[in-house]
Structure 1
Amino acid sequence: MSNLIVQLNEAGIFQQKHQVLNAVNLKISRGEFTYLIGKTGSGKSSLLKTLYGALPLKVGKGIVAGYDLGSLDRKTIPLLRRELGIVFQDFNLLPDRSVQENLRFVLEATGWKEESKIKERIREVLQQVGLQEKYRTMPHKLSGGEQQRVVIARALLNEPQIILADEPTGNLDPETSDDILLLLRQLAQKHNTAVLFATHDYRIIENFPARIIRCLNGRIITEEDIEV
């Protein structure tokens, strides 16, 4: 099994007909924690959307979790997404269902059928994010940080190879942001899951340094490029 989860070669990233990033070369390995930074509109979200198949890869080559981005179709996009955990700034939890029912919904939608295994997996992921006591709680009764922990638990359900986090701390106060960041870094380490963490919170990056990928002037710049 390859250690590379993401590999882009000379990829062009498009938002409809407009090319937002060109000649993208990017490698992310199993268990690696990486920041994705850049101003609003610099192409961060478009890059993430391309990685999870929401935007087509029209130029260059891309492999994510063993799937060729250039040949994705209706059948393979759901299979690719089972290998990914996706965490957004907005929690997108089902408001009329408890924490455990939100998680159950995802498991059933991705083909889990055995009741005992569903219950066990829900218990495991809630334990990983420190919310095992809140399984019956409705989303509106949770704090913002707790809701984002549920979202991370949801992202972990199918044991993803990589978590794509798009501004996951954007709506949270600094202390809660730190908690969420540390949780994701711990998960990356413990479960050998890669994390690509898009943010424009430079305070977090200064406090918790890691590899940085920057979207700038239509290009991707990595520290490897700068060192050359």
Structure 2
Amino acid sequence: MKPQNVESGHKSYQMTEAIVELRGVNIRQGNRNILENVDLRIARGEFVYLVGKTGSGKSSLLKTLYAALPLASGSATVSGFDLRKTGRRKIPKLRRQLGIVFQDFNLLMDRSVEDNLRFALEATGWKKGTGAEERIDQVLQEVGLADRRRSMPHTLSGGEQQRVAFARALLNAPTLLIADEVTGNLDPETSKDILELMRNLGREHGTAVLFATHDYRLLDTFHARVVRCEGGKVFNSEG
């Protein structure tokens, strides 16, 4: 079967390329096993739900992917980085390949939308005069907030603040977007809008999306593969 491509501008992404590849991974916190023998593959441009009850290991799995938890055993590659060989010096490079969004927006409330994004760019090594302003314009267009560039966060709705958080996560054109319970504070209609936004990222840019939630109702928004944490194991099924 011919590999499916995702078109983005002048680039063509093959969705067969693995962005996440875990094999036989054990995840621990201290001396406690959280998840055992995890096998997980996420392709470029793929949208995947990560579900499970509170305490089932979802957050520990996500932390392993962005190297906040060390790999206990097994093999793991994320966005081209071998987690077995990713020491402290390489972690910032890995995280520049990732976009990470949490339930709490973590915006700087005393700075405008554009200043929040500018701060994030400077923190990841962007210099003035290197296209930073153009990049801010691009990501705000993508999340539908082009007209709120100079707004203060407290003047935005919850959904708009979450979109600013997504814009911030997109600044470095991540290969993998990790969304951890990002709709937990939003109403159902806004939650659907955020899901559609994430889905479009994969279609338009080849960004893989791993969306963690304990709200199973969101799985009916659109069908996608479901990865489930339960009883110390990780199970894959089709959405």
Asked if Structure 1 and Structure 2 have the same fold, meaning a TM-score greater than 0.5 normalized by the shorter chain, the answer is: yes
Greater Cα shift, 166-175 or 9-18 = 9-18
The alpha carbon displacement at 1:207 in A equals 2.7
Higher helix proportion (structure 1 or 2)? 1
TM-score, normalisation: structure 1: 0.95
Query: What is the distance in 1 between the residues matched to 2:187 and 2:31?
Result: 36
User: Is it true that 1:174 corresponds to 2:188 in the alignment?
Assistant: yes
Q: 1:50 aligns with which of 51, 64, 71?
A: 64
Instruction: Give 1:194-213 correspondences, 5 Å limit.
Output: 194-213=208-227
Q: CA RMSD in A?
A: 1.3
TM-score, normalisation: structure 2: 0.91
Moved over 4 A (4+): none
The alpha carbon displacement at 1:212 in A equals 0.3
Unaligned runs of 5+ in 1: none
Name the count of aligned residue pairs: 224
Residue of structure 1 in register with 2:122 after alignment: 108
Residue of structure 2 in register with 1:78 after alignment: 92
- For the residue of structure 2 that corresponds to 1:115, the secondary structure is coil
Residue of structure 2 in register with 1:123 after alignment: 137
- The 1:74–1:209 alpha-carbon spacing in structure 2 relative to 1, beyond 3 Å, is same
Query: What is the distance in 2 between the residues matched to 1:30 and 1:116?
Result: 27
- For the residue of structure 1 that corresponds to 2:54, the secondary structure is coil
Residue of structure 1 in register with 2:35 after alignment: 21
Query: What is the distance in 1 between the residues matched to 2:31 and 2:144?
Result: 43
The alpha carbon displacement at 1:75 in A equals 1.1
The alpha carbon displacement at 1:119 in A equals 0.4
Greater Cα shift, 177-186 or 66-75 = 66-75
Q: 1:139 aligns with which of 149, 153, 164?
A: 153
Query: What is the distance in 1 between the residues matched to 2:140 and 2:171?
Result: 10
Q: Which amino acid aligns with 2:234?
A: I
Query: What is the distance in 2 between the residues matched to 1:16 and 1:94?
Result: 33
The alpha carbon displacement at 1:106 in A equals 1.0
